[in-house]
Amino acid sequence: MINKINGIIRDNKKIFIIGIIIILLLLIIGISYAWLMTTLQGEKDISILVDTIDLELDESASEGIQLVNAIPTYDDEGKVSSPYKFSLVNKSDIDLYYSLSLIDDEELINNCQTTDGSPCELLDSKDVRFEVKVGNDYQYLDNMGSLSDSPVIYHGVINANETVDCELRVWININAGNDAMGKAFLGKLKVFATQQVAEDKFIQDNEEVNEPKMDSNMIAVRHDGYNWVKTDKDNGWYNYGRGIWANAVTVSSDTLSTYQSAGVGTVINMDDIETMWVWIPRYSYTITSEDGNNYYGKRGVYLSDTPTRALPGEIDIKFIGTDVKEKGTARYSNTEAPKNWYTPDAFTFGDVELSGIWVGKFETSNTTQSSTNSATLDPIIKPNVSSWRNINVSNIYNVGLKVSAEGNMYGFSQSMNSHAMRNDEWGAVAYLSQSAYGKLGNVNFIGADKEIYQNKSNQYITGCSSGLPSNNGAQGCQYRYDDNTRDESGESGKGVGASSTGTIYGVYDMSGGAWEYVMGNYNDTIGGSGFGEPLTLDSKYYNKYTSSTASEACNGGVCYSHALSETAGWYNDYQTMVTSTNPWLVRGGGYGNTDAGVFNFNAWGNGGANYLSSFRLVMSPSP
């Protein structure tokens, strides 16, 4: 196969090449792997038999895809190009849940050479556009997508004895320009499949995700591989099964009407953006034990070994409506179906049950790019700027409230209920990141790279990434938040790996960067926070902990969903609970700490202004 590819490259260096490997990973009893290799010209009627499952990959209807002399192409043209056709045939009596990914082929990449013996120059993933059709369903934004978003291109169910006809079209993004000429994309299709009970779907449909609650000043956005662009809220805005969480922005008041009237696909200039938000939809969770003793999550299809504290497994997640509020123990044995579900406290604001929350995509900055202990500055939330530090907790609290206060500069209504992030809200993001819908479930990352990469910027630049798990890497901003550069093995987006999803659509700066004060307090102790004595905050704005022992901190019991005792030490993250001396929690771990991470918590500092500590904003929109 490699010789075929090299021959094509010798004939014309402008060829756009795709190699496909189909991997069917079947979880029935243990794990079985079956590898099929074929060029896009196709090898016909390939079948696999694994225990009681009989799957057939039928390519007889296709002559394959050959993009000879390929050049950057408009989407309208790419969508009518000749498709690669294949069918998945389930000949067994077992329903399978699956996700289909298009990822780099390491073997082909390592062996690909041009006529002069030099390695093939590869296209950036943002330059690869695709359209996939499974049965009668097209899936993706405007029926097409970019591999810079996520390698997962489809997910669904193959019912017992069902045949699913599929089509795949791939082309070069028109925006790639001349830089794409002479480069190649060498990829493979990868399918995860598992047998599960019907109510525990492998990946839930978007219909089960609560629609983001938008204010009139918010603009729904997607990333086209180059820029944030306005998107159609009713057509592919988000897909949590593919790690594409819903993103929205606000822009300056003098540009708002222009963007509101602009068409889908309009570039949102970063200079016009004032705040960026990520939607965390309401869900319930539960955590399994693989050994009957330690609850480190399940191995599932995402880990190759039994989960450990150093490399924890999947947290089970199911999306729910506001009419559901579960209060189980959030634990179950891996010999059982997931049960004992718990709905995170983050989805309750006072006495209101929320369909979801908007979380600041980055650590908070301000319009003057200065760090000062004052609530008079206006916050901004965007990448590539210095985070706001040297501010005490009381001023953080007041800054949070002003974002949706009457007459605010952003145009938010008061019903958005802006505030400084509570600790349980941090937990809601952390748990989702450790699920099938977050970085843990992103098949583009394996092993230790499942951990959110650390921001090691000693200049506290938002969105930076070290390109490595938190216990490695030199200090500095090695990669920006939108950098999808791969390592030598073809895995791991170096910049996007620092987000909660491993895609550009997640939440950043949750590992490293500045420490982040959260509104989590020991027994109403004010410390150096700047609040008056006694602490008189409304309980909906902070979490009160009554013990310095994490497992007893919520009125003598476990603080479910707060990312404290349940996930203590995951990824070897640091853990110290608040005390009367240091009564305010910080999260994330700071840029210079090897034990930083999304599950890091510490009673570092007493709530006072510190040049190492920043904060994050949240909105809890009322129904």
* Interval 347-389: pLDDT, tens: 999 999 999 999 999 999 999 988 999 999 999 999 999 999 9
Q: Which of 32, 560, 574, 589 is nearest to 315 (CA)?
A: 560
d(CA 85, CA 60): 8
The confidence score (pLDDT) of residue 242 equals 81
Confidence of residue 78 (pLDDT cuts 50, 70, 90): confident
Of all helices (H) and strands (E), which one includes residue 137? Answer: strand 137-138
Measured distance CA(301)–CA(450) in Å, rounded: 13
Q: How many residues does the chain have?
A: 623
Between these two residues, 234 and 426, which has the higher pLDDT value?
Answer: 426
Q: How far is CA 616 from CA 91, 92, 361, 584, in A?
A: 51, 50, 9, 15
pLDDT, tens digit (0-9, with 9 covering 90-100), for 153-165: 776 778 888 888 8
- For residue 190, which of 502, 442, 15 has the smallest C-alpha distance? 442
Q: Which residue has the higher pLDDT, 138 or 416?
A: 416
pLDDT score of 252 more than 50: yes
Tokens 């980055």: give the residue. 362
Cα 42 from chain centroid? 34
pTM of the model: 0.82
What is the structure's pLDDT at 369? 85
Q: For residue 63, give both structure tokens.
A: 């002559």
* Cβ–Cβ under 8 Å, residues 72 and 185: no
Residue 109 has pLDDT above 90, yes or no: no
Query: How many Cβ atoms sit within 10 Å of the Cβ of residue 11?
Result: 11
Residue 194 has pLDDT above 80, yes or no: no
| The pLDDT of residue 486 | 66
- 164 in the Ramachandran plot: left (φ > 0), alpha (ψ -120 to 50) or beta? beta
**Whole-number pLDDT of residue 416:** 98
Tens digits of residue pLDDT in 428-447: 999 999 999 999 988 788 89
Give strand ranges (E) for 173-212: 187-194
Widest CA span of the chain, in angstroms?
79
- What mean pLDDT value characterizes the chain? 83
Q: Identify the pLDDT of residue 296.
A: 98
The pLDDT-based confidence of 21 (bands split at 50, 70, 90) is: very low
Compare 361 and 24 and report the one with higher pLDDT: 361
How many percent of the chain have pLDDT more than 70?
A: 80
* H-only helix segments in 46-94: 75-78
pLDDT recorded at residue 588: 96
pLDDT band at 449 (very low <50, low <70, confident <90, very high): very high
- Owner of token pair 């662009």: 229
Q: Is 450 helix (H, G, I), strand (E, B) or coil?
A: helix
* Distance between CA atoms of residues 196 and 96, nearest Å: 7
d(CA 86, CA 65): 12
Please compute the mean of the pLDDT values over residues 254-275 and round it to a whole number. 96
pLDDT at residue 187 above 60? yes
Nearest in space to 228 (alpha carbons), one of 267, 255, 257: 267
Task: Answer whether residue 509 shows pLDDT above 70.
Answer: yes
Q: What is the pLDDT of residue 148?
A: 66
Per-residue pLDDT band at 487 (split at 50, 70, 90) = low
Q: What is the pLDDT of residue 37?
A: 24
Q: Which residue has the higher pLDDT, 489 or 256?
A: 256
pLDDT of residue 97: 67
Sequential DSSP letters for 25-50: EEESSS-EEEEEEEETT--S-EEEEE
Q: What is the separation, in whole angstroms, between the first and last Cα of the chain? A: 57
163-173 pLDDT per residue, tens: 888 888 888 88
In this predicted structure, the answer to whether residue 206 has a pLDDT above a threshold of 60 is yes
| 387 three-class SS | coil
What local confidence, expressed as pLDDT, does residue 139 receive? 58
As given in the structure block, the two tokens for residue 71 are: 């050049």
Q: Which H or E run contains 96?
A: strand 96-104
* Whether the predicted pLDDT of 318 surpasses 90: yes
Higher pLDDT, 83 or 55: 83
Residue type, 404: S
